[in-house]
Structure 1
Amino acid sequence: MVFDLYRSFRRWQDFGQILTFIGDVIFSLISIVILFYFFERANALDFRFYIIWGSLLGLGLYLKIFSVFTLRACFGFYRLISYLAKLIHRSIKIPIRGLVIIMRPPYAILHWLSLLLYRIGEVILLKRARRVKRRLRNWWKGLLPPRTNG
């Protein structure tokens, strides 16, 4: 059943061939380790032929009978989760869109006002800054001794 969960998720996400192969190998190794752990706990590492045949028979019966229903249930669950995620996403976007619409006029007014104040400040302060720069340059030149060519 866990493999069907993994297999359905893999198919739903469309992993690709290489990632699917790597994931299957890793899943198989982990499941073998878990299976051997349970064999060891149940039979004290006394591997008998009927344990292997029983496991394989159980796997075959599960794959033939219950696997189809498990896959359908998993895909239904994934569709439900996807639908709920989209619903939550939309419900979050609605207030944000409303806030954007509400804040558009004040933002436009603030943008216009700040640009106006910037231009006024530029006209007023730029003339003074140029005047101060010229005065500082003249003052600095007055401190330096005159140049001699020689």
Structure 2
Amino acid sequence: MAGVSVGLVFDVYRSFRRWREWGQLLTFIGDVLFSLFAMVILFYYFQKANALDFRFYIIWGSLLGLGLYLRIFSKHSLRFFFGFYRFLSFLAQLIHRGIKIPIRVLKFLMRPPYAMLQWFSLLFYRIGEFILVEPMKRVRKRISEWWKGLLPPRING
């Protein structure tokens, strides 16, 4: 059972890694994590079988179970896992579409208020520009003329 359990976990990891097309770094990290998880599984089964008394037949039986699993069941379990991942991907797309429908409806319903808000903001900007900027330009022009009046005239010569 220890070998079959490790083989099943290996197929889950291998199929997920191939399905997601991991790069070298993620593959390395995943291999290390899988090795640690496999050690935990083996530790559990060795604890149950002989209270962690490592005997050769336990290791041999685990390797035999792993070999039989990989030889007999691995192809079928990989097909099952890839089908399961495709099903999960389909469900995720379905949920994504389901979430996007209310957002699109809200976006469609908010178009007129947003257009009115945009129009009013542009109107207030233009009114503010007329009320604030134009008088400031006139004041600047008056100050500039006043300043020029204080300076003596230039003599070109």
Q: What does residue 83 of structure 1 align with?
A: 90
Q: What does residue 125 of structure 1 align with?
A: 132
Pairwise CA distance, 1:128: 3.9
Q: What does residue 145 of structure 1 align with?
A: none
**Are the structure 2 counterparts of residues 113 and 46 from structure 1 closer, same or farther at C-alpha, using a change threshold of 3 Å?**
closer
Q: What does residue 54 of structure 1 align with?
A: 61
Pairwise CA distance, 1:48: 2.4
Pairwise CA distance, 1:96: 1.3
**Are the structure 2 counterparts of residues 111 and 52 from structure 1 closer, same or farther at C-alpha, using a change threshold of 3 Å?**
same
CA distance in 2, matches of 1:46, 1:108: 76
Pairwise CA distance, 1:42: 2.5
For structure 2, the 5+ residue unaligned runs are 1-7, 148-157
Pairwise CA distance, 1:93: 1.0
TM-score (norm 2): 0.73
Pairwise CA distance, 1:88: 0.9
User: Does 87-96 or 34-43 show the bigger shift?
Assistant: 34-43
Q: What does residue 9 of structure 1 align with?
A: 16
Q: What does residue 121 of structure 2 align with?
A: 114
Instruction: State the SS of the aligned residue for 2:43.
Output: helix
CA distance in 1, matches of 2:99, 2:62: 49
Q: Report the identity percentage.
A: 69
CA RMSD of aligned residues (A): 2.6
User: Does 27-36 or 47-56 show the bigger shift?
Assistant: 27-36
Is it true that 1:63 corresponds to 2:70 in the alignment? yes
Pairwise CA distance, 1:116: 1.5
CA distance in 1, matches of 2:124, 2:51: 85
Deviations 1:16-74 (A, max 9, x none): 34432442244224423441353244213433222122111111111111111211111
Is it true that 1:102 corresponds to 2:120 in the alignment? no
Residue type at the aligned position of 2:12: L
Deviations 1:86-128 (A, max 9, x none): 1111111112112222222221122112211211221122244
Residue type at the aligned position of 1:38: Y
